[in-house]
Amino acid sequence: MARPFGTKIIETPEELWNMFQEYLNSLEVLKMEVPHVKLGTVIIHTQEPPTMEGFKYFGSNYFEIKGKDSVTLSNYIENRSNSYDDYYVIVTRIKDYIYKHNFSRAAVGIYKESLIAKQLGLSEKIIQTVFTEQPLFPDRRIPKLDVSQNHSD
């Protein structure tokens, strides 16, 4: 049965925050070998990096498992229709958490810096401008020979 128009599947911002906490708890713990100056190679256990895309995917699965309609967290996160203004503070908190978590771990070398930089929008953007210059030796045009004229001897 479809839900009535105007009702929200995630009824409160707190419910969205609780869902985000469940998403964080669902992330896999990774074993990573990290070089250490004095100890050599050390194995650390760290959580896989949280992402907004991963959270959106988690949200769609979350409600299917609970037997509710499939939800699109993009509606709550992007708020294009201004129907989710009361979720703005929680969405901002979630984005800040993801940014700080991933940035701090990339800064100390736990996560791959280049991947996290792209994910956080910190990667370098190169703008290339091409200027065409005058050629060093300009083409010398050879006049065309008009062969249409009949020459008589």
Cα 42 to Cα 34: distance, rounded to the nearest angstrom: 5
Counting beta carbons within 10 angstroms of the beta carbon of residue 150, is it exposed (0 to 12), middle (13 to 18) or buried (19 or more)? exposed
Predicted confidence at residue 150, as pLDDT, reads 59
Domains defined for the chain, CATH in brackets:
13-120 (1.10.132.80)
Query: Is this structure's pTM higher than 0.85?
Result: no
Q: Given pLDDT bands bounded at 50, 70 and 90, which one contains residue 24?
A: very high
DSSP state of 127: -
Predicted confidence at residue 136, as pLDDT, reads 64
pLDDT tens by residue, 95-104: 999 988 888 8
Cα 100 to Cα 49: distance, rounded to the nearest angstrom: 11
In the block, which residue shows the tokens 């050629």?
A: 135
pLDDT tens by residue, 78-137: 888 888 889 999 999 999 999 888 888 877 777 777 766 676 666 666 666 766 666 666
